[in-house]
Chains A and B, each alone.
Chain A
Amino acid sequence: NAGVTQTPKFQVLKTGQSMTLQCAQDMNHEYMSWYRQDPGMGLRLIHYSVGAGITDQGEVPNGYNVSRSTTEDFPLRLLSAAPSQTSVYFCASSYSGDDEQFFGPGTRLTVL
């Protein structure tokens, strides 16, 4: 199993550009989530999904969209990037809400 994979590893955007961060897992996990990690802030939940077709907002959802059309994939979309979205983005998945969450290797995003 590859576990949780994320692409790209690094990305530089200009303010106003859009892009999609990809996340996939091959563990048949129902639960998936997106976090961002900023220096001195810890990880904060952006959006999460408890199954295909179901998504919900986390602590910091503004500026981000998600969808979950399959169990395996949970892409995160930035519609109009802003410098405040410069961060490291981690995708995570778990079998259930109580189980260990497995994290992907992260995407380092810089918005100029």
Chain B
Amino acid sequence: RKEVEQDPGPFNVPEGATVAFNCTYSNSASQSFFWYRQDCRKEPKLLMSVYSSGNEDGRFTAQLNRASQYISLLIRDSKLSDSATYLCVTRNSGYALNFGKGTSLLVTP
């Protein structure tokens, strides 16, 4: 079983919609949590870190539930430029990152 599980989608939403992605992780010792964004045929880039108290960055809100080992990402007022694959990522005690397979989002006009 993969350490980080995500629904691959694709999620097709109209511009302006709110969309939520979820992921679960299996290692209770995971210490750090992130959402990365990857555009088609490009490298992953950090979208935001995820903190236990929840955090927001503009239209993006991330939540972490350590008890349920569950991470979420909410995107409000979707833009065409939000179309990408969103990668849920954890880090255990070492340096290595554990990547989910990604959730594909397509925002349509």
Q: Which A residues form the contact surface with B (CB < 8 A)?
A: 31, 33, 35, 40-45, 48, 50, 58-59, 90, 97-98, 100-101, 103-106
Contacts and interface: CB of A to CB of B under 8 A. Distances in A.
14 contacts: A33-B96, A35-B99, A40-B101, A41-B101, A42-B100, A42-B101, A45-B97, A48-B96, A90-B44, A97-B95, A101-B97, A103-B44, A103-B45, A106-B42
A33 B43 contact: no
Contact of A58 (B4, B44, B96): B96
B60 to A, nearest CB: 16
B43 A105 contact: yes
A45 B99 CA distance: 9
A55 B42 CA distance: 26
B47 to A, nearest CB: 11
Given A41-B101, A42-B87, A42-B102, A90 B95 contact: no
Interface of B: 2, 4, 32, 42-46, 87, 94-97, 99-102
A106 B41 CA distance: 9
Tell which of A44, A48, A103 has the most Cβ of chain B within 10 Å.
A103
A35 B102 CA distance: 15
A66 B96 CA distance: 16
B95 A31 contact: yes
A43 B102 CA distance: 10
A59 B6 CA distance: 19
Contact of A43 (B45, B46, B99): B99
A48 B42 CA distance: 21
Tell which of B32, B87, B96 has the most Cβ of chain A within 10 Å.
B96
Nearest to A106: B43
Tell which of A90, A101, A104 has the most Cβ of chain B within 10 Å.
A101
B95 A104 contact: no
Contacts of B44: 43, 90, 103
Contacts of A104: 43
A100 B45 CA distance: 9
Contacts of B102: 42
